[in-house]
């Protein structure tokens, strides 16, 4: 994908900086360009995202877009600063979670997940394993027991995340869709484990 030439500044008609944020001539903040979530951080769409770098870029953008900086500027710039801040916030929420990033990427690549009501794991082995884990969690009567079950699920989630990255890397979207669903189940399971642990005495 070739980078598009940034449009001229809305305020003075001058040249806009390469990242499309500010005018190089008059310094005016430019309206946000609504590309995909990856583009909002200057990234090419892909599952491999350095979350620490993403968060650094997020804070940098939030700092540069902070409404206080535009208090004495044109009303239009104040408005754009709020839009920019909302846009990068929305993008960050999606991209920093592996599950949400995978779902978003699948949709972007044209393979949307089925709507949540019809999502099923059709692999019987995976299904049986998931039910066993549910039973183990239901049987765990101490925080330590819950933590042990959760640790196994976390290790499995790490493994599935690695497989998911490999599936996206070789552009196998069918496998990526299946693994995303598994990761979603594991995330939900870990949420439930946290909740159960909170309800148990130490």
With beta carbons less than 8 A apart as the criterion, state whether 67 and 81 touch.
Answer: yes
For the segment 17-76, give every residue that binds Zn ion (CB under 5 A).
23, 25-26, 28
Report in angstroms the alpha-carbon separations of 48 from 57, 72, 133, 138, 171. Answer: 16, 40, 29, 35, 13
Q: Nearest approach, Cβ of 71 to Zn ion (angstroms)?
A: 19
Q: What is the DSSP string of 134-191?
A: HHHHHH--SHHHHHHHHHHHHHHHHHHHHHHHHHHHTT-HHHHHHHHHHHHHHHHHHH
> Measured from the CB atom, is 9 or 106 closer to Zn ion?
9
Q: Does 12 interact with Zn ion (rule: CB under 5 A)? A: yes
Q: Which of 6, 8, 11, 165 binds Zn ion (CB under 5 A)?
A: 11
d(Cα 62, Cα 89) in Å, to the nearest integer?
A: 9
Q: Does 131 interact with Zn ion (rule: CB under 5 A)? A: no
> Measured from the CB atom, is 12 or 200 closer to Zn ion?
12
* Of 9, 28, 2, 176, nearest in space to 101 by CA: 176
d(Cα 166, Cα 163) in Å, to the nearest integer?
A: 5
> Measured from the CB atom, is 26 or 86 closer to Zn ion?
26
Point out which span in 10-18, 36-44, 50-58, 70-78 binds Zn ion (CB under 5 A).
10-18
Q: Does 107 interact with Zn ion (rule: CB under 5 A)? A: no
Q: Does 15 interact with Zn ion (rule: CB under 5 A)? A: no
Q: Nearest approach, Cβ of 67 to Zn ion (angstroms)?
A: 20
Q: Does 159 interact with Zn ion (rule: CB under 5 A)? A: no
Binding footprint of Zn ion on the chain (CB under 5 A): 9, 11-12, 14, 23, 25-26, 28
């Amino acid at each position: 994908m070739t980078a598009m030439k940034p449009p001229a500044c809305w305020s003075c008609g001058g040249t806009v900086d390469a990242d499309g944020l500010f005018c190089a001539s008059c310094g005016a903040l430019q309206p946000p360009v609504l590309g995909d979530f990856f583009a909002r951080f200057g990234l090419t769409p892909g599952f491999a995202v350095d979350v620490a770098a993403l968060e650094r870029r997020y804070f940098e953008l939030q700092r540069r877009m902070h409404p206080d900086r535009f208090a004495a500027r044109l009303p239009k710039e104040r408005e754009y600063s709020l839009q920019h801040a909302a846009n990068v916030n929305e993008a960050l929420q999606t991209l920093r979670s592996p599950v949400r990033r995978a779902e978003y990427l699948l949709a972007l690549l044209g393979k949307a997940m089925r709507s949540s009501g019809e999502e099923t794991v059709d692999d019987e082995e995976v299904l049986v394993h998931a039910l066993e884990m549910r039973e183990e969690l239901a049987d765990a009567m101490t925080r330590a027991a819950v933590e042990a079950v959760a640790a196994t699920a976390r290790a499995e989630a790490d493994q599935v995340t690695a497989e998911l990255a490999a599936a996206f890397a070789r552009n196998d979207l069918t496998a990526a869709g299946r693994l995303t669903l598994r990761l979603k189940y594991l995330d939900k399971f870990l949420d439930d484990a946290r909740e159960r642990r909170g309800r148990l005495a130490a």
